[in-house]
Amino acid sequence: MADEVSKIVDRDGKHMLVCLVDGIPFPVFTGIRERLKKIKSWTPRADDIFLFAYPSSGTHWLWEVVGMLLRGKAERIKVEKEHYMLECSDPETLEKLESPRILNSHIYKEQVPTSILQNNKIVLISRNPKDIAVSWYNHNVADLETDYEGKFSAFYELYRVGNVPNGDWFEYNTVWWKWSRDRENVLWVTYEEAKRDLPSLVEKMAVFLEVSSTPELCQSISDSCSFQKMKQDKHNLIPCELRENMSFYRKGHVGDWKNWFTVAQNEDYDRIFKEKMKDCDLPVEFTI
């Protein structure tokens, strides 16, 4: 049975197609409701590694880094990470993947099986929400499934209150952050630190994952996972007929929000951020 599709309508009457799961508006992935229902009772393998993040936080990027670290060489998997994504693959499909599996998702902490939270290594990724607003807008206006044709100013009005695909940035990150504090099976990283010094972050991830590494390997992985190299290599995996309208890599800049936000939007978001984050010390870098 097909999932019921809902519409989020912006102030100009432009819509975004979503599928509500547990009250959260997710992108329209066929079968997502039943899939996430199955995932709740799914048992992971002991060596599964999970990456969780709000969309446009750098999941594609760091998924590649983890894969290279586990293989001990700077060679890319010739498969898109969506094959390893909980929203996109049924448990039966996941069972066919070889270990160690690097699984990823944008689902909320409450939707994740307790066994994963307690036993598996988890990498949590965050990025400053202003840059995410810009990146997520550009992703959704290019997404045929979302079918959105609105302007950024109208998208911002929805984003600021969490009424966009994948819901509210504040709710997503504050819940994960408060839960993750002092847990030995969790590593929290940020998009900004990866942009600032990727080799150092690769080394830190190697220590967390308990895999051997050398400065040469960390540098080689960093070179292979540079934004432009990732964009070119991964773009080539997309079928030719879809390449013009589909890419998970746009600019990858830190601070691009300054080219999109008006002064009024920036002041508005700063006010919202101060209120929403008053009881949460999640580190967020708006400039770098």
Q: Which residues are catalytic?
A: 106
**What is the distance between the alpha carbons of residues 13 and 10, in angstroms, rounded to a whole number?**
5
**What is the distance between the alpha carbons of residues 200 and 18, in angstroms, rounded to a whole number?**
38
Q: 275 is written with which tokens? A: 């209120």
User: 51, 45, 85: which is closest to 208 by C-alpha?
Assistant: 51
